[in-house]
Amino acid sequence: MSNNDVVLQVNDLHTYFFNRRGITKAVDGISFTLREGETLGIVGESGCGKTMTALSLLGLVPQPGARIVSGEIILDGEDLVQKSKQEMREIRGRKISMILQDPQTSLNPVFSIGNQVIEAFAINEKGNRKAMINRAVEALRNVRVAAPETRMKDYPHQMSGGMKQRVIGAISIASSPKVIIADEPTTALDVTIQLQYLRLLKEIQSETGLAIIFITHDFGIVARMCDRVAVMYAGRIVETADVRTLFNKPVHPYTQALMASVPQMDRTDRLFAIDGQPPALWDLPEGCRFAERCSHARPHCHQEYPGMFQAGDDHHASCWMLDESWSNTEQEVTA
């Protein structure tokens, strides 16, 4: 794909929390691109900055404690970081939208499904009530909700988890955004409904050219849904690659450890676990943030954070082992 296909470009984004502990660097200098019709997976342990990245893109970082300190979020040629709150209200839904993790808490229990889907159109567009009702019915039909005319009158408690998640999807794509952020949207669904929902997202993407950022812990979902993957650790992206390369040849020790932690059906021995804990985001080390848990770490790893090194075509990782001088450093340490 050419650069003309890029719909979202994030450059050196920093989102910090300012509190009594000091400065918590939730997102600490991440960069990535997203192209039309592409799905980018963002994976990593809980607390690594995945959801905060998503909230930063939408201009919804928790207030008053958090703010975007620096960086660029270029969507459709505009820098969202420079937009006012009013301007972001007009952009959210129209150009970028989000599917939240829990459909039960995403829908208002005292309003009907129809009212909530219609609201998604009313906020961003003008039109008569009848036209919006017809569009809401069509939106529910597009996400494969059976008997949408009847479901418009239902309330959230009258729908299953899978159906509620479909309604959230309908609301998210109501105004035909260019980018959707799906923040672990299948966590609350059982396995069979998960598969149906993932298939639905792929169908909608193929029909509309929608670009998706998929945040998940599940490598099975990554393999099924994603074209490229960004692995996050302690507020930074440590490895990026296309999904096939990442599964076949991960190079960052953290990515390798995550892969090793996935249970295998043919394995009966003890499950692998990553020793230790991620560093506190308000007290980060100077060097590599994974060094304390890494079996390959050398003294230099604790002293300086590694840059992004190329590991292959469109494959980059932030690890000193990819530096040409690493083997020399290892020999010096051994000597």
201-249 pLDDT per residue, tens: 898 899 889 999 999 988 888 998 999 999 999 999 999 999 999 999 9
Angle made by CA atoms 23, 25, 29, in degrees to the nearest 5: 135
Q: Average the pLDDT over 293-306 and give the result.
A: 92
Q: How many residues does the chain have?
A: 335
Ranges of each domain in the chain: 3-95+177-334, 108-175
Q: With 50 as the cut, is the pLDDT of residue 298 above it? A: yes
Q: In this structure, is the dihedral angle defined by the CA atoms of residues 206, 177, 71 and 99, taken in order, positive or negative?
A: negative
d(CA 92, CA 219): 29
| Position 151 pLDDT exceeds 50 | yes
| Confidence (pLDDT) at 1 | 45
pLDDT score for 264: 74
Helix axes 161-172, 129-142, angle to 10 degrees: 120
pLDDT at residue 106, as a whole number: 85
Q: Give mean pLDDT, residues 134-158.
A: 91
pLDDT top residue among 185 and 249: 249
Angle at 99 between CA 94 and CA 105, to 5 degrees: 120
Q: Are strands 309-312 and 6-19 parallel, antiparallel or unpaired?
A: unpaired
Residues 258-286: pLDDT tens digits? 988 887 777 667 778 888 899 999 999 99
Question: Which residue shows structure tokens 């994603």?
Answer: 226
The superfamily (CATH) of domain 3-95+177-334 is P-loop containing nucleotide triphosphate hydrolases (3.40.50.300)
pLDDT score at 3: 57
Chain centre to alpha carbon of residue 181: 6
> Kind and range of the H or E element at 103?
helix 103-106
For 2-6, 90-94, 310-314, which range has the lowest pLDDT when averaged over its residues?
Answer: 2-6
Query: CA-to-CA distance for 279 and 146, rounded, in angstroms?
Result: 47
Of residues 9 and 121, which shows the higher confidence score? 9
- Per residue in 98-115, pLDDT (tens digit) is 988 777 788 999 999 999
Q: Locate 191 and state its tokens.
A: 């396995």
When mean pLDDT is compared across 76-85, 181-190, 310-319, the lowest value belongs to: 181-190
The tokens for 156 are: 């959230």
DSSP reduced 3-state for 9: strand
Percent of the chain whose pLDDT exceeds 90: 59
Mean of pLDDT over the chain: 89
Burial 97-111 (b: 16+ CB within 10 A, else e): bbbbbbbeebbeeee
Q: Measured between alpha carbons, how far is 173 from 204 in angstroms, rounded to an integer?
A: 9
pLDDT at residue 333 above 60? no
| pLDDT(325) > 80 | no
pTM assigned to the model:
0.89
